[in-house]
């Protein structure tokens, strides 16, 4: 049986030095997780050329929107606020084209961290540019520990989704973010939150498989967490259908 081909979006990095050095990068943990779950990973380099993107996407059975830099707040009609992090205009432009075009296919999409937030922005939602704007004290959401280490509990508050099927009412996760979803995008449902009320997972129930996850299951999967691996196995199963 042919294994499903999964595209992974990448970062657009600029390195200072004697030369203007640009590169496309993505954590190897995404590829490791896809391979472990039975898929074939392909990294999508950053481009905004529509015809190139359409040809790339024609090869794919599923799409992972990877983590990375903050999204330009102009995409959700906000000015830049204090404490926003680094943005990547090239990645924002290219990745939104990728998402728009792949969304049309109805094929499975999994957004992780930045990708989770990008799905919300794509559907017309907004973000807290930093958790200090959340309006009340929050847990530590940007850990300084081992990437596979779980630091907080996530409550699964909706039963009609793969997280509930796999983990029941709660799951312990890692956390590497300083922004979060504010206004929820059109057609999206919040399916998991932390004790402080931060949105940790979303789903588009009208879509075959469209999920956003705020934590990093690929970091935990790549380091032997069999529970988190189940998320990728379910994703690959849906890409096979």
Separation between Cα atoms, residue 102 and residue 108, nearest integer Å? 9
Q: Are 37 and 93 in contact (CB under 8 A)?
A: no
Catalytic option among 116, 218, 234, 238: 218
Residue 218 annotated among the catalytic residues of the structure: yes
Catalytic option among 113, 200, 238, 239: 113
Catalytic option among 116, 152, 177, 216: 216
Q: Are 132 and 83 in contact (CB under 8 A)?
A: yes
**Beta-strand runs (E) in 108-209:** 109-112, 127-128, 152-156, 170-173, 180-181, 189-194, 199-203
SS3 state of residue 56: helix
Q: Are 61 and 7 in contact (CB under 8 A)?
A: no
- Of 176, 143, 181, 173, nearest in space to 156 by CA: 173
Positions marked catalytic = 113, 216, 218
């Amino acid at each position: 049986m042919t294994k499903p081909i999964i595209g992974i979006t990448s970062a657009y990095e600029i390195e200072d030095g004697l030369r203007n050095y640009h590169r496309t990068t993505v954590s190897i943990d995404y590829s490791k997780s896809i391979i472990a779950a039975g898929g074939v990973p392909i990294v999508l380099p950053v481009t905004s050329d529509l015809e190139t993107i359409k040809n790339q996407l024609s090869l794919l059975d599923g799409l992972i929107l990877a983590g990375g830099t903050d999204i330009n707040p102009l995409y959700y009609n906000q000015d830049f606020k204090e404490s926003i992090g680094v943005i990547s205009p090239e990645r924002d432009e290219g990745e939104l084209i990728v998402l728009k075009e792949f969304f049309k296919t109805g094929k499975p999409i999994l957004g992780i961290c930045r990708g989770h937030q990008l799905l919300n922005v794509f559907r017309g939602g907004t973000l807290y540019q930093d958790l200090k704007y959340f309006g009340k004290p929050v847990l530590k959401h940007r850990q300084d520990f081992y990437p596979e280490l779980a630091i907080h509990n996530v409550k699964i508050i909706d039963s009609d989704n793969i997280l509930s099927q796999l983990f029941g009412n709660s799951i312990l996760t890692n956390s590497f973010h300083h922004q979060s979803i504010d206004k929820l995008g059109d057609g999206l449902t919040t399916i998991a939150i932390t004790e402080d009320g931060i949105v940790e997972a979303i789903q588009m129930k009208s879509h075959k498989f469209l999920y956003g996850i705020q934590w990093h299951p690929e970091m935990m999967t790549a380091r032997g967490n069999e529970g988190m691996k189940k998320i990728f196995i379910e994703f690959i199963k849906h890409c096979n259908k």
